[in-house]
Amino acid sequence: MVRNKVIVLFSVFTLLFSVFAPGLSPQNVKAVGTEEVEDVVETKGDRSPNPEDDGWELTFADEFDGDEINMDNWSFDEPTNGRWNGEIQSYTENNAKVEDGNLIIWADKEDITEPDGQVYNYSSSKLWTKDKQTLTYGRVDVKAKLPEGQGMWPAIWMMPNDEPFYGTWPVSGEIDIMELLGHEPDTVHGAIHFGRPHQERQGTFILEDGTTFADDYHVFSIEWEPGEIRWYVNDIHFHTANDWFTKHPDNADAYTYPAPFDQPFMLILNISVGGGWPGNPDETTVFPQQMKVDYVRFYEKDEYPVHEKPESAEEREGRAPLEDGNYVYNGSFDSNDPEVEGIEGVPYTDYWTFLKAGGGNASLQVNDGALDIQIDSGGDVEHGIQVLQAPIHLIEGATYRASFSAKAENERPLKVKIGGDGDAGWADYAGKDPITLSTSWEDYEFEFKMENLTDVKARYEFNMGLNNSNVSLKDVRLEKIADPDPADMIRGPLPTGNYIFNGTFDQGEGRMGFWEFNTDETAEATHYIGSAINERRFDALISNGGNNVDSVQLSQSGFTLENGREYELTFDASAEAERDIQVALTNLNSEVVYEETISLTTSTEKHTIEFSVDSETDNNSELQFNLGGNNNNVYIDNVFLKKLPLDIEVGNLLKNGIFDGLASWRAEAFNPGQATFSVEDGMAKAAITNIGTADWNIQLFQEGVNIEQDVTYEVSFDAKSTVDRPLHVQIQRNGEHHGDDDWTVYFEETASLTDTLQTFTYSFTMNEDSDPVSKFGFPLGKDAEGLIPSEAHDVFIDNVSVRKVDGEVEDPGTEDPGTEDPGTEDPDAPEERPMGEEFFEDFASHDEDRWSMAGVWTNGDMFNTTWYPEQVTFNDGKMQLTLDHDENASETGIPYKSGELRTNDFYHFGLYEVSMKPVASEGTVSSFFTYTGEWDWDGDPWDEIDIEFLGKDTTRIQFNYFTDGVGGNEYYHDLGFDASESFNTYAFEWREDSITWFVNGEAVYTATENIPQTPQKIMMNLWPGIGVDGWTGVFDDADIPLVAEYDWVRFTPLEELSHDPIIVEPETPETPETPETPETPETPETPESDDDSKDESDEDGDSEETSKEGSKDGDALPSTATNAYNYLLVGMLLLVIGGVSFFIRRKQLG
C-alpha cells in the first residue's frame, strides 16, 4: 500500500482493447495510464492466457486447497505495521482463513485493543510471504474477488524482502499489483513507488460494462523484467513503467538502474480500512467485507530481456543554449515548427508546456509575440495554472540572469520558479519570491547562483494559480552570466563522512560512478561489477598486468586532502591468488602524498591505512589502487576515506561540531519551509528562502546524543546571520526515534544573531531521566513570536559542542580493547567499587537497580553493530537481544543495531549461571560473560571470562578468558545438541586459582593458569562480526531480525558454595589404576524454563545447564566486550600410552 500517498492523477492515454478476455470485451474495459509525473511508456500488447506460451515456468503456487493457511508460505504482519496513510484498522490473525479453495481476508467493524492500550474500531488481516516466498523478476498472477464500499482499501502488492537494503521507503521501492478504492468498485490501480524524493508511476484499469470487481473473480498480474514492469487484468495490458530511479540521501548519485527494482520482493495481501486515499467508512459501508483469493502463482524465466532506462541525448548532456546565449527556446513566442512539440492547439508555443492542477482552468493564445493566459479559475494551489519550459541545463556553481516582460488584467502575484522536477524534489533553485504584476507591461529581471548539483533538465516555470486575473508574458530569457568559481567547487564528504563517492560500487553508470579504470599500453585488463545484489564489488580481471605497478589502475579524484590533517582509509579486498597491490594518494600535480603496499590473500579482508598530509591542501586529490605488475585478479569493495578528528573535538558529545562537511548532521527543510545547506568557510550555512510556518520546517540537527540525569552540561556554538534574527538551540526527546511523538524539551535557549560571528555558551542540568538517544538541534524556521524576518537570508553556525561540566574528559579515540563507552563516564560515580550480592534474575521485567542497557555507542572494529537500549526487551519472562538493520546507519556508518545488557554492580569469585538460547546464524556471536576494564573502573585491567556461541555452529560452545589483556585460552566443547533449539543451562565457577565451565550441570572443562582476579560485571550481548570471517563466518543479514533469548541468570558467591573446587582433568588413557574423577558437587537446583516455575523458592534444585564461553588473545581472537580478535594457535599433542591416543586442541587466530 502507498505510504504517505498523495495521488495526483493526470489522464495520459486511453487504450481500447480488441482482444477478447474472459468476461471482458473491447467495449467494456478501459485502461488509463496515470502518473504523478509524466513517464516514458512503450506499451506491450495483450498476452496469452497460458503463461507457458510466453516461456514462463511456474516456480511457486498456493491454490488454497487445504483447510488452513499454509504458514510455510505466509506470515501475519504485526498489527501496528502499517497505518502509514491514516488507516483505522487493527490487523489480527483472526481475520483470515482458507475455505472452499479460497484464502479469505475480511474486514469487520469491532473494537480491538492493541498492547499499547489504543482501541481501533475495525479489524482486518495482512499476510505476506516475507522470508518464505520471494521473487526477483518474473510474473505474478493473483486471482481474486474484491470487497467494496466506502473506506475499503484492498491491495495486492510487493515490498522488498530486505527493505533497508537500499534504504527505507520510498528509496526501497514498492510495487502495487492492484489497489482498489471501495467507493470506486469498478476501478483498480497499478503503480510503483520509488526515489527520494518520492515519485510514482501509476496506471488505472476500469470496467465499463456496469460490473464491479466485487461481482466476480479477476486475475491481477504483473510481468517484471530488468528495467520494465507491465500490469495486466485478465491478461489485458493496461500500464507499463520503465523509467524510475532511487537515491539514498547518504550517496552522491542514484543507485544504478534498474534499482530499486532489482532485488527480492515479497508478496502482500491485505484489506485496509479508511485512510487518506479511500476515506473512512460511513453509514453506507456494509460489514464484514471480504477479499477472496483463488490462487497466487509466481512464474520465472531462465533469462530476461534487459531494458535500458529511456533517456534522450538532452537528458544525458543537457540542452545547449541558443546562439544568443538564451537557454529558453522560443522565448518570443514566434516559432511554429510542426516538427516541434508545443502547447496543444496553441500556435507559436513550440517548446512550451501548459499544466493545470487543483481545479485550475485557463485558455491560451499568442498575440503579437505575447502569450496571453485567460484564466477561468486559478484553482486552489500556486501551480493551479502553470506554463513552463524544460529541459533547462543549469550548472552547479554558475550564475544566471532570468528576465521577461509581463502584465496582468488586475494587479496580482506571479510565482516564477526556476527549479528541478520530481527527480530533484521539485527544488526551487532561484528561490525568488512572488512578483507583483501590474496592469501594464513591465520588464522583470533577477539573478541567482546555482547552489544545487548540476541539473540538465531543470524547469523555467510561471505559476499563476490562486488568482483568476489574466496574465500575459513575452521576451522570456535565461542567460548564464558567470561560470562556476573553482574555489566554490570543492567537493566535501558525504553525510557519512566518506570522501570517496560510490565506495560500494552500486551507483552511476555501470555502477562505476566517480571511478575510472585504466591500463597502459603494456597491460590488458577489464573490470566487472555484478548486477546481483550479492555481486556488487569491483573485480579487476587481469590477463596481463603490464610492466609497472600502475599499469592497471582504479582511481577516483576530486576530493580534498587538507594540510596537517590525519586521515583513515579502509577497504575490503582479496585476490585470485596471494599478491601485492599499491595504494597511493596523489595531489593535483600527481605528486605522491602517501603510498603503501598492501598484501592480499584469497580471503576478503578489511584493510586500514592511516596517514597524515604534510603537503599543501589540495582540492583535487586522487586515490589510486595500482594493480599492475601481476596477472592475478583483484577484488575491491567498501572504500571509505574519512578525516580523523582533531583534539579540539575530544569530549564533545556531538560529532563533527567543526563542520568538516555536513557528516553526522541532518539538514532538512519541510514544506513550506525552503532552504539549502552547505559548508562555507568551514561553517555550516543554511541558505533560507522561505521560513515556513513553524520552527521545525527548517532544521539542522543530530540524533543519538547521550544526556544523563543529574549531570550538568555546557552547550556552546558560534553563529551569525545576514539579517538580525533569533536562533533557537535545543536538546529534546526524540519522539520519532521512540515512535511516540513525545518531544519533551530538556534544554532550550535563544541566541540573538547579527552579521558578526559571536560565541554563545549556555549550561544546563538534565532533570529528566537519562536519554541516550536525545536530539540536539537548531530549528531555523518561523518562530512562534514572529521575530524571524521572512526575507531570504543565510545563517552560519560553527564550533558546536555539548560537554559535561564536571569530571575528567575521556579520550574517545582510545583504542584500548577494554573501551566500552568512552563518552559516558559518570562524574558522580561512587568512590568505592559497587559489589553485588547473591541473586536470581527471572527477567520478568527490567530491574533497573540491577541491570543497564548499553547505548548508544559501538565497540567498533569487528563489532559491526551499534548498541541501542530498545534492542533489549523483556517478554513472557525472558530477555531478548535483537539484531536488526539500523535505520540510523547513515549517521553511525554501521549497518546493524543490537542489544547488550550488563549489571550495574561488580561480582567476584563464585558460580555464574545462565539459561539461554543463542542465535544460529553464521557470522553472529551470542554471549554470556563477565568483564571489566579501565573504562568500567578506574585502573582496572582488562579481565574477562566468556561463554560464546558462534552462530555458524551452535552444536559447539566456546570458553575463554583474559587476564590483564592476555588471552589465547579458547576451548571448544561439542555439546551433542543444537543450543539454538531449546533453553539449556551454561555456567562457570570462578575461583582464585581455577575456572570450571559447566553444561547442564556437568563440569566439562577447567582452566588453572593465569586466572583473572579483578571483580567484573555480568554481561550478555549479540553481535555480527566484520573482518573476523575466519572465526565467526561471513554474516548474511537475509534472516534478520535475529533474536537471542535468556531465560534466567543466577550468581552464587563462593562463600555460599559448599563443595570443593571441581577440576576437570584432560582425558588420559586408561591404566590399571585410573583415579576416580571428582564427583560433580550438588549445586542449587536450576529453575525450570517454564514461566510458572520461575520462583526464588526453586533455587534449591539441581542445575540443568551450565557453560561459559572464553575470550580471545589480546593479539588474537576478540573479546565480546572489546575490540581485539585473533585465532588460537592450532596445536595437537599426541601421546600414545598403551595404544590409546588423546589430544588437546587449541586454536589461535593468526
SS3 content of the chain, % helix, strand, coil (to 5): 5, 45, 50
Determine the 3-state secondary structure of 862 from DSSP. Answer: coil
Cell output for 293: 483469493
Determine the 3-state secondary structure of 274 from DSSP. Answer: coil
Question: Distance (Å, rounded) from C-alpha 1056 to C-alpha 1054?
Answer: 5
Determine the 3-state secondary structure of 330 from DSSP. Answer: coil
| 1127: DSSP letter | P
Q: Omega before 278 cis (within 30°)?
A: no
| 316: DSSP letter | H
Is 1002 catalytic? The answer is no
Q: How many CA atoms lie within 13 A of 125 on its CB side?
A: 22
Catalytic site residue from 36, 87, 225, 948: 948
Question: Distance (Å, rounded) from C-alpha 152 to C-alpha 88?
Answer: 11
Is-contact 650 813, C-beta < 8 A? Answer: yes
Q: Omega before 493 cis (within 30°)?
A: no
Question: Distance (Å, rounded) from C-alpha 106 to C-alpha 97?
Answer: 9
Catalytic site residue from 622, 649, 703, 944: 944
Place of cell 565506495: 503
Element (H, E) at 892: helix 889-892
| 815: DSSP letter | -
Is-contact 1103 915, C-beta < 8 A? Answer: no
Question: Distance (Å, rounded) from C-alpha 244 to C-alpha 237?
Answer: 20
Question: Distance (Å, rounded) from C-alpha 80 to C-alpha 84?
Answer: 10
Question: Distance (Å, rounded) from C-alpha 845 to C-alpha 840?
Answer: 13
| 144: DSSP letter | E
Q: Omega before 495 cis (within 30°)?
A: no
Amino acid at 1060: D
Is 948 catalytic? The answer is yes
Is-contact 139 237, C-beta < 8 A? Answer: no
* Residue 696, phi-psi category: left (phi > 0), alpha (psi -120 to 50), beta (remainder): alpha
Other CB atoms within 10 Å distance of the CB of residue 55: 11
Cell output for 555: 582511481
Question: Distance (Å, rounded) from C-alpha 698 to C-alpha 688?
Answer: 8
Is-contact 164 246, C-beta < 8 A? Answer: no
Is-contact 635 573, C-beta < 8 A? Answer: yes
Is-contact 246 195, C-beta < 8 A? Answer: yes
Q: What is the DSSP string of 83-147?
A: -TT---EEE-SSSEEEETTEEEEEEEEEEEE-TTS-EEEEEE-EEE-TTTSEESSEEEEEEEE--
Determine the 3-state secondary structure of 835 from DSSP. Answer: strand
Question: Distance (Å, rounded) from C-alpha 133 to C-alpha 672?
Answer: 42
Q: Collect all residues with Cβ–Cβ distance below 8 Å to 1072 and sequence separation of at least 6.
A: none
Question: Distance (Å, rounded) from C-alpha 331 to C-alpha 354?
Answer: 15
Q: Collect all residues with Cβ–Cβ distance below 8 Å to 1142 and sequence separation of at least 6.
A: 1066, 1067, 1068, 1069, 1134, 1135
What angle is formed at CA 522 by the lines to CA 520 and CA 528, rounded to 5 degrees?
60
Q: What is the DSSP string of 333-361?
A: S----TTS--STT-TT-TTEEEEE-TT-E
Beta pairing class for 552-561 and 618-626? antiparallel
Amino acid at 1054: L
Question: Distance (Å, rounded) from C-alpha 880 to C-alpha 871?
Answer: 8
Q: Tell me which residues are annotated as active site.
A: 944, 948
